């Protein structure tokens, strides 16, 4: 036609009002046919200029059709999909025929690549089932659902399905004639509606949190890292990614990586300062300060860390790991006490000349061994085991051992208490992470925990920073955030 776009729009309006005819059928059908024949190409060109189109190729366009055919055709021309599925209401037969004639008869689509299916507009489950069937279990990244042509409830059901299936969602936005309340041809633009589950990441954040709370910190870190790349406001995901990395390095005692992990949390906190509670912020700062002490190799920090990690693994029912760490807590309390009491003394290569009256120590050690039923003994060994270190400190009447109940106020040994320690550590020594094949029971783990707690309390009173141990352990306990 040689007329201008404005003149053609005016003629289409006359056809819609019934003032002029364009073939057979209702006035609405005639006007739609006129639009497809004489206005579509210009409308597509204008809409393309006004739209931000997807950069990824669309394989399957799923378009809703309630009454009008033009939204589906316009979305098709803008997105240029390889296949088209029209989900139609029962009374949309005329519109589907128009879509088919325009796209198939023109050669834009083959009969095989144009499909249509009737759905119940008010049933989200029916919509979901139909879309899911057409996807056939394939990744939906190359599919788009356009909700422009559906009735309100139909579009809402399709949007729910799109968000559940992680599909892209589009809508052709129009300007309307204030008199006729009809969309104005050439005033269209395609917009992409972000999936709320992707935009805000609520569902992904919840799944990542479940992984985090289970203690699988490396898996949680990877989940949070993926969320950071997708969500519009990634501040909280970045913080949780950093915390997961901190806890991962902490659990692995990956000391070389601890400083970078600490820095990662510190860098992530300012962006979410208003979103997290002051209590959580204070807890994180306390944990970061402790992690720095741990990275520096501070002996007291190590002793506390072993117990803290033992409690963590006990709470997630990893009893073999928990028992190992409680054993290390006991061992660290004993050997660190020896190093602190006798400067230069090395429990892995003992120089007993560093201890006052080594001959007296040897005799007392031998007497204690015989009282425990150990049989003939040559005295303290050159390399101390856990129990040998305990026996040595008891022989020295060390006040830490008195505080932990291994000697009375006069320095006399409590043989029952010593044997209890020996029995509890033997259970650990038979485990698969030590020298045996026996699984550690929950009760065995808790008995070792009690031994570790008693010795740690006595050790902390002599070598801690003067603060409350129970308060410190509560502060250092790994976060169990709610969201």
pLDDT over 70 at 190, yes or no: yes
Global pTM value: 0.63
Q: What is the DSSP letter of 257?
A: G
Tokens of 226: 């993926």
pLDDT over 60 at 370, yes or no: yes
pLDDT over 80 at 434, yes or no: no
Sequence ranges of the domains in the chain:
5-193, 202-296, 301-476
Q: Distance between CA atoms of 201 and 423, rounded to whole angstroms?
A: 51
3-state class (DSSP) for residue 32: helix
Q: Distance between CA atoms of 452 and 307, rounded to whole angstroms?
A: 7
The residue to which tokens 């807890």 are assigned? 283
The domain 5-193: what is its CATH number? 3.40.50.10770
| Concatenated DSSP letters of 237-303 | HHHHHHHHHHHHHHHTT-GGGHHHHHHHHHHHSGGGTTTS-HHHHHHHHHHHHHHHHHHTT-HHHHH
pLDDT over 80 at 364, yes or no: yes
pLDDT at 181: 67
pLDDT above 90 coverage of the chain, percent: 43
pLDDT over 90 at 402, yes or no: yes
Tokens of 69: 């055919």
pLDDT over 80 at 204, yes or no: no
pLDDT above 70 coverage of the chain, percent: 94
pLDDT over 80 at 250, yes or no: yes
Element (H or E) spanning 88, and its range?
strand 83-88
Q: What is the pLDDT of residues 113-148, one digit of tens each?
A: 898 988 887 777 888 888 888 887 666 678 888 888
**Of the listed ranges 185-199, 283-297, 326-340, the one predicted with least confidence:** 185-199
* First-to-final CA distance of the chain: 61
Average pLDDT over residues 40-66: 87
Q: What is the pLDDT of residues 228-239, one digit of tens each?
A: 877 767 888 899
pLDDT over 90 at 218, yes or no: yes
């Amino acid at each position: 036609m040689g007329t201008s776009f404005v003149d053609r729009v005016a003629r289409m309006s006359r056809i819609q009002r019934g003032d002029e005819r364009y073939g057979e059928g209702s006035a609405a059908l005639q006007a739609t046919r006129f639009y497809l024949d004489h206005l579509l190409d210009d409308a597509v060109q204008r809409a393309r200029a006004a739209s931000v189109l997807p950069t990824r190729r669309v394989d399957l366009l799923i378009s809703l059709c309630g009454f009008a055919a033009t939204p589906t055709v316009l979305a098709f021309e803008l997105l240029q999909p390889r296949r088209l599925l029209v989900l139609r209401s029962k009374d949309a037969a005329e519109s589907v025929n128009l879509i088919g004639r325009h796209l198939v008869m023109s050669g834009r689509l083959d009969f095989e690549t144009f499909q249509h299916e009737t759905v119940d507009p008010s049933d989200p489950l029916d919509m979901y089932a139909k879309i899911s069937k057409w996807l056939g279990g394939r990744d939906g990244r190359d599919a788009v659902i356009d909700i422009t042509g559906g009735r309100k409830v139909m579009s809402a059901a399709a949007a729910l399905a799109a968000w559940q299936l992680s599909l892209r969602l589009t809508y052709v936005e129009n300007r309307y004639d204030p008199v006729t309340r009809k969309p104005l041809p050439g005033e269209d633009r395609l917009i992409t509606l972000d999936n709320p589950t992707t935009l805000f990441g609520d569902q992904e954040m919840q799944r990542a949190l479940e992984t985090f709370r289970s203690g699988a910190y490396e898996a949680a870190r990877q989940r949070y890292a993926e969320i950071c790349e997708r969500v519009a406001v990634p501040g909280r995901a970045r913080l949780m990614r950093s915390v997961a990395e901190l806890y991962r390095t902490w659990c692995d005692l990956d000391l070389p990586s601890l400083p970078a992990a600490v820095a990662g949390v510190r860098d992530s906190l300012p962006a979410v300062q208003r979103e997290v509670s002051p209590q959580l912020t204070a807890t994180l700062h306390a944990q970061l300060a402790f992690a720095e002490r741990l990275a520096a190799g501070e002996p007291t920090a190590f002793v506390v860390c072993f117990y803290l990690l033992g409690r963590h693994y006990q709470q997630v029912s990893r009893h073999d790991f928990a028992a190992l760490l409680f054993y290390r807590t006991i061992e660290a309390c004993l050997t660190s006490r020896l190093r602190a009491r006798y400067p230069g003394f090395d429990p892995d290569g003992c120089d007993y000349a560093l201890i006052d009256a080594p001959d007296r120590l040897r005799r007392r050690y031998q007497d204690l061994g015989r009282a425990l039923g150990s049989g003939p003994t040559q005295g303290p060994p050159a390399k101390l085991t856990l129990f040998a270190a305990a026996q040595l400190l008891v022989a020295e009447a060390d006040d830490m051992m008195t505080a932990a109940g291994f000697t009375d106020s006069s320095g006399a040994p409590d043989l029952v208490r010593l044997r209890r320690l020996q029995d509890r550590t033997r259970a650990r020594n038979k485990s698969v992470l030590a020298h045996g094949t026996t699984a550690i029971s929950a009760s065995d783990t808790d008995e070792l925990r009690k031994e570790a707690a008693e010795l740690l309390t006595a050790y902390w009173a002599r070598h801690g920073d003067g603060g409350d141990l129970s308060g410190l352990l509560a502060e250092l306990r790994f976060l169990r955030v709610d969201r």
